[in-house]
Amino acid sequence: MVFISKLLLTLPFASVALAAYTRATSSTNAVIPISGTNMGAIAPLPDGATWFFYQDTSNNSIIAVHISNALAAGGTLVSEQIFVPGSEVRSYSPIAVSGAVDSAGTGWQEIHVFFYSPDNVLSEYYNIHEVGVQGGPTCTTCVTNEGFVGAPDSQMLYTIETDTEVRVGFVSAGAPDTVSEAANSGNGWSVASLT
């Protein structure tokens, strides 16, 4: 829980590129309106706390939502804020999310959010504990910087993360009849197609 608290404090102030949008936590049983198209989520922590991400239909931004537990178990909204500015996201982009849990298993060490830019470039924003949010066209460690282009209008996107590697599957414009994977094991990104 300490990491989650730090993450919540870090996200709103981590980058000038992030908008100052935060919905207050609801103290009633009122429905919290969400107007989105595509979603991605990461598995909950042992206490049930979960992050999910959706694309806002009003401005294309990707919104990060933190809930305290499974909704059926009484989970409530903890926070909601813009994670990726809408100008960097293709309309109706798929969203893939992965994360790595800290060694205690009680908080997220890192969370990666993948999507397509308006020019179909495979793109990424991520948050690493004690580093903060990184992303956008100037992020030198993000897959965005590699310029891997997805096939136009492709909705296929997945991510898998282990302790040693992040993999992102997508349909590449250069190999539109199969799946390609971008991978980073700490030494930069590479891409290969299924053969």
Q: Calculate what percentage of the chain has a pLDDT beyond 70.
A: 82
User: Reading across the β-sheet that carries 166-172, which strands appear in turn?
Assistant: 157-161, 166-172, 175-184, 189-193
Consecutive H or E run containing 6: helix 2-10
pLDDT digits (tens, 9 = 90+) for 157-190: 999 998 899 999 999 999 999 999 999 999 999 9
pLDDT digits (tens, 9 = 90+) for 104-116: 888 888 999 999 9
For the entire predicted model, the pTM comes to 0.82
User: How many whole angstroms from its chain centre is CA 70?
Assistant: 19
Consecutive H or E run containing 104: none
Amino acid at site 118: P
Residue whose C-alpha is closest to residue 94's, from 147, 156, 183 = 156
pLDDT digits (tens, 9 = 90+) for 21-54: 444 444 455 566 676 667 888 777 878 888 999 9
Q: Any idea where the domains of the chain sit in the sequence?
A: 2-24+33-149
2-24+33-149: CATH topology is Neuraminidase (2.120.10)
Helix boundaries (H) for 24-89: none
